[in-house]
Amino acid sequence: MNCILNTGRSVSQGVSVEHKGSEEYRSVASACLLNTVDMLVLGIEDGARVRISSPAGQVVLTARSSDGVARGEIFMTIGPYANHIISSETHGTGMPDFKNQKVDVEATDEPVLSVGELMEEIGGMRYDH
Amino acid sequence: MNEILVKNACVIDPIRGINGDIMDIAIRDGRIVESVSDRAEIIDAHRCLTLPGGIDSHTHVCGTKVNFGRYMSPEDMRAGRTRRHGRMHVTSGYYVPTTFGNSYRYSAMGYTTLLEGAMAPLEARHTHEEFTATPHQDMLANTLFDGNWAVMDAVREKNIPKTAAIVGWTLNAVKGYAIKLTNPGGTEAWGWGEDLTSIHEKVPHFEVTPSEIITTMIRANELLRLPHSVHLHCNNLGKPGNYQTTLDTFDLVPDLNPDRQTLYATHVQFHAYGGGTWRNICSKAEDITRSINSKPQIVMDMGQIMFCRTMTMTADGPMEFNLHCLHHNKWSNHDVELETGSGIIPVTYSKKSAVNCIMWAIGLELALLTKNPWQCLLETDNPNGAPFVKYPEVIGLLMSKRYRDEECATLHADTERRTSLFALEREMDWHDIAVMTRAGQAKALGIVNQGKGHLGAGAEADIAIYPIRTDSVDPAREYRKVVEGFQKTRFTIKRGRVVSRDGEIIVDGANATFWTNALIPEDIRVDNDPEFIRRFQEFYTVRMSNYPVQDLYLPRGRRVDTEAFS
Amino acid sequence: MIINDVVCPFCGCLCDDLELEVEGDRILRVQNGCSLSEATFMNDTRLPAPIRRTASGWEEIPYADAIKETADILRDSDRPLLYGWSSTHGETQSVGVHIAERIGAVIDNTSTVCHGPSILAIQEVGHPGCTLGQVKNRADVIIYWGCNPIEAHPRHMSRYTTFATGFFVPDAQRERTIIVVDTRRNDSGGIADEFVQIEPGGDYAVLSALRAIVRGKESIIPKKVAGIAKEQLIRIAGICTNAKFGAIFFGLGLTMSRGKYKNVRNAIELTDELNRHTKFVISPMRGHGNVYGSNEVFTWMTGYPFAVDFARGIAFYNPGETTAVDILRRGECDAALIVASDPGAHFPRAAAEHLAKIPTVLIDPHVNATTALSRIQIPCTAAGIDAAGTAYRMDGVPIRLRKVIDRGYPDDAEILKKIYDRLNGELGP
């Protein structure tokens, strides 16, 4: 399903922002808010996993239904999960399309990666402490 | 021990009554002394013009609105850029340069002390941070009280000691030097998008008039025994016909202090307009100077404009909005809770504009028609009238009728009819210029006894040696040489160190910041007044304990204690 | 020990009325703060010591070695990028600019992916604003546009707007009209008197419609603009022009959506227009505690608020070219120093990916996503917790962050000064 990805801040993201290795942060940052009708169309329930793809990449997230999100839109908190699929094009402004990324949403059984795993996907190395 | 001997200097030191004598100046450890040992470094001035370091008694170089002027103007930043080389950091900007740009260029022109014209108390910490990054000049901050709620309440109660106590506490808290009133009362009205049009109109809600604020603050200033007088930006700035407001304001001023003026009226050019519209605006410099010439208790500065693009920035928010409605360029505004306002817009002063030509003429008329140069100081309200790098041209115009005539020939045709400038023959001499660019400022600011503005033994060794031979240059004819000479010193010496040579900065700076500390009797101190504290905590958005500027923001703070209430 | 009037360094509100109970190097309790503030002070887990990436994992190294290696990396780099700066104090930012100038680096701060577009708009049309106390004491109309204060600035409404008692607004809840404009109905929208739900990407059109109505041209407005009924637009324009004092606060909903800085420009021009009828101000909701400070410090030192490139010797500024995401996307920089921020988490994938390819050093108290992309991380104090310094509130009011405990870490300004001194020593005059 084609959607527009919108991102923003949230309290729970802010509370755990300095603990990116934590389970709390993972669950906040990897949640994908969808309109309930869109979830019906996709045939998934709250808590199911979805794969979001864009020309920049793809990432697996946990779907959450939200009435505040319009149809054809998905919402995520800012962070490494959202950024895994956002293009780095800035149209000459320095600012990527954090609120206006075209993506494809599909149901999946694959697992949600940790922040460390995401970073390893792009050449990093986890630091466990 | 660090010693320098400046030899063969042609010294003009108006405060000590020296006018062009060839003499030596001995310096030890930052101060001027009677003599030095034979190990002193020798600087040969070759009979060049040698003056106390320049002092600007009204300039906008540091703080919230100045920085916003930079922030909103990448086009200007691109205009004045220089690379890092030697001791000099990168600089950007022409009319609102970066702090290092301001400091280097002032230093190259021989300026060693600057008074920042407007600091909002709530944002004082910012001003002091930029002072530290303006390393080659000693700094002082005019502190804004024009829309201060506590002050207006005390004025309404006609309580001069309480007014003084509020001012004293605030200056101490924010490390300010003097009282600044910018469009008194008008900046509070601007909180509602309104302005005041007369000094007898009441401020909304506060029920006080500008005239009451000004007169009470003058009394409070003297009660605090502050070194400087009240520093006033009159109401109705920049409006045709405003000269009457200015004259009415001057008539309020008593003569209360034997050592200096009782009122410092700043950038009076902007307050000397006749007529009633932009179409019939004319000069009222003659009326203004007639008043000044009969009132030794008032000192003013010119507020000269020069033809160029520049940035206007002032606490006078409503004036900037009016100007914005004329210019339709970008407009910034920044009102400060319980204290004041501010506005910023870029402008271009053009010879094609009759209004601009008249403004240019008025500034010069004010200087030329004021009999006593100690009463009309040279500045451009940097950068409002022009960036300070234009001062040498202003000096040239004041010293040469020929230069003025050549300029006048290029102006809008209405200028001659609507000003008196073309008829003025006066040509100022070197001594007049020395008064109008340092000695007069030192006296007006009350810093002569801090060792500023003169070269007597014990003074701070702030010295400017210009590549000008007064015995061979005729300023009336060779005004180009005068302008060039004042643009770049041979040597600028700051507190006993050569900081600038031929325009090149050669050391890291280490400036000082002067601030006043009035000793106020315990029983009227506002920090002991529960009502003052309650209102502060309730209506400011910072806690009273987080308001004062800590001493560490002034790495070389120079506290000036005053025997207030004595 | 109880410490009063503590400043929270987390977001641009810089609330300065917190009460902390501390004991030795531990904070026991935070009062008056929001949940973000509590987490900032209470869950402050630090990287214990400098670490260096090895072929198979990470090793701890002494500070001196970490500092020397960082200086070496920067010295040997042809096109270094210095990025971050918004969660630390002004002195650190100032040393950062000096380093950038010294080595000809690009220096950028987090406003590049936050309110950078707002700055571009301000550079076109200016910024009619004020300090937050003006709003608190006077405003009877508040508009939150494309921002979500309840989530991102949880005390903004209680300290400065909706619920704050002001001098001329003694009964705030009754006397203030709150308008929330967003593409999504969020919690902030829930407490609005008027909620305006715009179709995604429709902000520019709605702002233009409001400007037209304020100028008396309502006849040209179609029945719906970006999903908003004309009646509602007319009603909102009326609320604005009849306000005694109106304030617009806007967020990333304007800066990051289609149109970016042009949206902000339009909002500022609406404010300008409204000033011809009444008093109106507009302000960006700045995110990081001291992001505005990084703009201020960069500006007085270089002339530009962000994205400053010293490669030519002079300060050069060209957003879109000298902005961090663009430099990384083009794979242009060959070393990076990240201070007090987390581009690993907050930059698009391709930009973050480049950080892992080049020697990247992170100076930050916490382990974050960028840690994994770095070659070295040097832990330091956290400004406002174990370091004092200046921060600028979202409205430009400078506030001194306090040091409330000592945890034995070096200040990031000290670390950077040592790096700067090394560079100066090695590079000569």
Interval C318-327 mean pLDDT: 98
CA distance B464 to B109: 8
Interval A106-125 mean pLDDT: 96
Find chain A residues with C-beta within 8 A of C35's C-beta. Answer: 11, 14-15
CA distance C256 to C245: 28
CA distance B560 to A62: 66
**pLDDT score, position B80:** 86
Closest partner residue to B335 (CB to CB) among C134, C272, C302 is: C134
CATH ID of A2-121, from 2.40.40.20, 3.30.230.10, 2.30.110.10, 3.40.50.300: 2.40.40.20
**pLDDT score, position C429:** 66
Q: Which helix (H) or strand (E) is C284 found in, with range? A: strand C279-284
**pLDDT score, position A129:** 65
CA distance C140 to C193: 12
CA angle C33–C37–C41, rounded 5-degree value: 110
**pLDDT score, position B172:** 98
Domain C48-114+289-427 has CATH 3.40.630.30: no
Query: Does B12 have pLDDT greater than 70?
Result: yes
CA distance B241 to B280: 10
Q: How confident is the model at residue A70 (pLDDT cuts 50, 70, 90)?
A: confident
CA distance C374 to C367: 11
Those of residues 69-128 in C touching chain B at CB distance below 8 A are: 90, 94, 98, 101-102, 119, 122-128
Residue range B493-544, pLDDT digits in tens: 999 999 999 999 999 999 999 999 999 999 999 999 999 999 999 999 999 9
Nearest residue to B18 (alpha-carbon basis) of B470, B460, B396, B375: B470
Q: Cα torsion at C179, C181, C184, C185 (round to 10°)?
A: 10
**pLDDT score, position B464:** 98
CA distance C95 to A17: 26
CB contact (8 A) between residue C130 and residue B334 = yes
Q: How confident is the model at residue C190 (pLDDT cuts 50, 70, 90)?
A: confident
Closest partner residue to C129 (CB to CB) among B205, B334, B338 is: B334
CB contact (8 A) between residue C152 and residue A9 = yes
Nearest residue to B134 (alpha-carbon basis) of B436, B505, B383, B465: B505
CB contact (8 A) between residue B546 and residue C124 = no
Helix (H, G, I), strand (E, B) or coil at B492: strand
Nearest residue to A30 (alpha-carbon basis) of A5, A57, A2, A60: A60
Count of CB atoms situated within 10 Å of the CB of B330: 20
Interval B231-254 mean pLDDT: 98
**pLDDT score, position C169:** 96
CA distance B531 to B525: 12
Residue range B341-358, pLDDT digits in tens: 999 999 999 999 999 999
Parallel, antiparallel, or unpaired: how do β-strands B3-13 and B18-28 relate? antiparallel
CA distance B290 to B300: 13
Closest partner residue to C348 (CB to CB) among A4, A83, A123 is: A83
Interval B392-396 mean pLDDT: 98
CA distance B122 to B140: 17
Go through chain B and tell me how many residues it has.
566
Q: Does B534 touch chain C (CB under 8 A)?
A: no
Residue in A closest to C119 by C-alpha: A93
Nearest residue to B130 (alpha-carbon basis) of B103, B104, B170, B90: B103
**Tokens encoding B67:** 């920085």
**pLDDT score, position A19:** 84
If you write DSSP's letter for every residue of chain A in order, what string do you get? -EEEEEEE--HHHHHTTT-TTSHHHHHHHTEEEE-HHHHHHHT--TT-EEEEEETTEEEEEEEEE-TTSPTTEEEEESSHHHHTSS----TTTT---TT-EEEEEEEE-PPPPPHHHHHHHTT------
Domain segments of chain C: what residues? 48-114+289-427, 116-284
Contact B450, B512 (CB under 8 A): no
Query: Does B252 have pLDDT greater than 80?
Result: yes
Domain C116-284 has CATH 3.40.50.1100: no
Interval B168-197 mean pLDDT: 97
Interval C239-245 mean pLDDT: 98
**pLDDT score, position A63:** 97
CB contact (8 A) between residue A99 and residue C186 = no
With 0-12 / 13-18 / 19 or more C-beta atoms within 10 angstroms meaning exposed / middle / buried, residue B173 is middle
Query: Does C97 have pLDDT greater than 80?
Result: yes
Contact C372, C387 (CB under 8 A): no
Contact C255, A95 (CB under 8 A): yes
Beta bridge partners of B219: none
Contact A101, A87 (CB under 8 A): yes
Q: Does C320 touch chain A (CB under 8 A)?
A: yes
Residue range B352-380, pLDDT digits in tens: 999 999 999 999 999 999 999 999 999 99
Which residue bears the tokens 């070096």? C410
Sheet architecture: strand order including C279-284: C194-197, C177-182, C141-145, C245-250, C279-284
